[in-house]
A and B are shown apart, each in its own frame.
Chain A
């Protein structure tokens, strides 16, 4: 699955905890969380500011606004986080190979 890059600069909260929190953000179409789907490329924590670099299954995904809002809402509830920025990127593009093994099994992969 995708190796999420974790960067910390005098963090108010460990980047690993931010990534854990992102497991609560669910793709409404696939029914799986964005971390297990391999959509989260990088998490940067600088003080209380959190930056998330992530992608979606397809660039025109109509669910983008909801997923992005969910990321902001979920991370906004993490103690110590006072600012959240989300950057959607398309390079590298998402592929199903980025998913965790358990997520693949949940979707009935071959």
Chain B
């Protein structure tokens, strides 16, 4: 079946609201950390640090992923989104469930909010997974990027269900006896199966599109997905069958992360757009944290490595794409089918406040680096710096997101010849 233009996503207000909520969740988490920066110096499984981690993963990343899934499949799979109003149910469930889970952690692993929130978040992600699979079944993706997107959401749903099982194991001896306490599998599935694979899949498509790349090999992303799947299978065998696999899963995951670096490098090498826009530069910069995380892991600093991976790599990558995708969503919501640029609509880049982008990028990057350093060095003086930078970066990001939406809602200026029309010359007409 030939692709057709105009594959429809959900009503735009849904993903826009989810992306704004995600940006607000990051600010809330950064505010919490700024209020209690010494949480970084306690045990890594202390309630406050686990709660903060879930504000980031379930709140910021989860909501941005979920919102993006209300529009991106139509672009990547080039078919209409199945059950386009399902998000009206799934996204509020996700928000409420994430809030309940975080409250449960903050209250010292309170069983009831954890169980309730875990069940609700699991239901929300299973609904979103079903929606994506139903969409993909309409036009099954043949490209590696589309397949990686579907697989990453399956891993994300599995991560959440595993988290729910962990909450059950913590409060019910029967569940613990049956499942053990597979916290490592939960972490690995989320970080690599959901986040790395999701960023790799969506990134191959979107980075290529925004950088005007001439296309890259499919094998790298397919191999990346295979390595992640094998590593997670090995982790599951280690967790449930008690198989002694040694460092093999980690080696597979390191190879997958290295492939992602090579993939981004390959896309950038064949790009034709030299000047990348600031949000895309933030997405690219995120990848500097992958080798940093690997080195920290090799140095025996798993908490610092996880912080570099999650806040540095995942945080910056998601932040860059959030702003870019939000501009598309708000522009199409406001102008699709109506006034184009020739009738006075702004360009997408006109929706941004340029001065906020470097603040977001460098404050989030600096915050991620100092967060990792705090966890690695256990230096109390670094914790407020990390908290302050993350607060600044997340505030700047939210301000940008709100500005994009508000700018798109402004009345259309009177039609005037756009500057780009100056490119028109008779020599170009007809070639």
Contacts and interface: CB of A to CB of B under 8 A. Distances in A.
Interface of A: 1-4, 6, 16, 19-20, 23-29, 31-33, 35-36, 56-70, 73-74, 88, 90, 95-97, 100, 102-104, 106-110
B5 A26 contact: no
A56 B74 CA distance: 15
Given A24-B418, A107-B275, 8 more contacts: A20-B429, A23-B421, A26-B341, A28-B340, A63-B332, A65-B332, A100-B423, A108-B275
B431 A32 contact: no
Contacts of B346: 28
Interface string B97-121: 0000000000000000000000000
Interface in B415-431: 417-418, 420-421, 423-426, 428-431
B421 A66 contact: no
Nearest to B74: A60
Contact of B212 (A64, A106, A107): A107
A70 B3 contact: no
A65 B424 CA distance: 23
Contact of B430 (A4, A102, A109): A4
Given A24-B421, A61-B5, A96-B214, A73 B426 contact: no
Nearest to B71: A62
A65 B131 CA distance: 24
A104 B424 contact: no
Interface of B: 2-7, 9, 71, 74-78, 209, 212, 214, 272-275, 328-329, 331-332, 335-343, 345-349, 417-418, 420-421, 423-426, 428-431
A35 B424 contact: yes
Contacts of B421: 23-24, 26, 33
B5 A35 contact: no
Contacts of A69: 337-338, 340
A8 to B, nearest CB: 12
Question: Which has the most chain A C-beta neighbours within 10 Å: B4, B77, B341, B418?
Answer: B341
A61 B75 contact: yes
A102 B425 contact: yes
Given A26-B342, A69-B337, A73-B343, A62 B74 contact: yes
A67 B336 CA distance: 8
A102 B346 CA distance: 22
B431 A3 contact: yes
Nearest to A56: B5
Contacts of B343: 70, 73
A24 B212 contact: no
Contact of A65 (B74, B336, B430): B336
Contact of B340 (A16, A59, A73, A108): A73
Given A63-B331, A65-B332, A66-B336, A31 B3 contact: no
Contacts of B349: 31
A58 B75 contact: yes
